[in-house]
Amino acid sequence: GAVVSQHPSWVICKSGTSVKIECRSLDFQATTMFWYRQFPKQSLMLMATSNEGSKATYEQGVEKDKFLINHASLTLSTLTVTSAHPEDSSFYICSARGPYGGATYEQYFGPGTRLTVT
Amino acid sequence: GIQVEQSPPDLILQEGANSTLRCNFSDSVNNLQWFHQNPWGQLINLFYIPSGTKQNGRLSATTVATERYSLLYISSSQTTDSGVYFCAVAGYGQNFVFGPGTRLSVLP
């Protein structure tokens, strides 16, 4: 149980285009979803959190107009990287968590999406 | 915010050896998890352990919240244990802060 999927697993796009990454909780309802970014040989850095039906809360230094997050349902969140540039190339990982106090209150992670902007 | 340290940063073991990974944190937490990131990038939940001791097969973990540290024990290591081990901590109502990780290589 508690499986999180991400799609696509890797994507290459041209500079200036937009890319959408999907994150789904497959077997539980995710009241909160998280988006992380990880550079090579570094730790995970939180970009934003979102609760279903609410606007995302972005961490300091993360441009909300560049990284659009939509948490449309209890099982789906999307991250859109708009007008991507080579410096946006990174490994993006989503995470989902169930309701407080429930069996799925831990954070469960998706397999990640490797984005390369050329 | 909470600071998280992990030691050692790198660890090389021969298959079959045991190891202890440490996570120190700077403030009280009510949430702590250990993760293993495999070579393909997938993070795998190992333990949800804000306090106490848990065991799962060859792995066990202990968190002493009052002293602000957690330990992850790996016994009889296997090559499939290779990867990066992260601890992540959170205060009440706060988001996770990840440690820098311990990179483990288990040699055959």
User: Per residue in B8-34, pLDDT tens?
Assistant: 999 999 999 999 999 999 999 989 999
Q: Are the C-beta atoms of A58 and A47 separated by less than 8 Å?
A: yes
Which of B33, B43, B84, B94 to mutate: most A Cβ within 10 Å? B43
pLDDT tens, position by position, B50-105: 999 999 999 999 999 999 999 999 999 999 999 999 999 998 888 899 999 999 99
The predicted pLDDT at position A51 comes to 86
Mutation target among A9, A90, A107 for the B interface, most CBs of B within 10 A? A107
B23: closest CA of chain A, how far (Å)? 14
Q: What's the rounded Cα separation, in Å, for the pair B37 and B43? A: 4
Sign of CA dihedral B60, B54, B35, A27: positive
Query: Which of B47, B95, B105 to probe the A interface (max A CBs under 10 A)?
Result: B95
A109·B40 Cβ contact <8 A: no
Contact flag A43-B101 (C-beta cutoff 8 Å): yes
Contact B42 A112 (CB under 8 A): yes
Taking the CA of residue A64 and the nearest CA in chain B, the distance in Å comes to 18
pLDDT at B80: 95
Q: How far apart are CA B87 and CA B67, in angstroms?
A: 16
Question: How far is residue A4's CA from residue A13's CA, in Å, rounded to a whole number?
Answer: 24
User: Could you tell me which chain B residue has the CA closest to the CA of A57?
Assistant: B95
Confidence (pLDDT) at B93: 82
pLDDT at position A1, please?
66
Confirm if A52 and A73 have CB atoms less than 8 A apart.
Answer: yes
**Alpha carbons B16 and B78: distance in angstroms, whole number:** 6
In the numeric block, which tokens belong to residue A105? 């209150």
Low-confidence ranges of chain A (pLDDT < 70): 1, 100-101, 103-104
Mean per-residue pLDDT over chain A, rounded: 92
Please report the pLDDT score of residue B67 as a whole number.
96
β-sheet bridge partners, residue A11: A115
Contact A43 B100 (CB under 8 A): yes
Answer whether B86 touches A (CB < 8 Å): yes
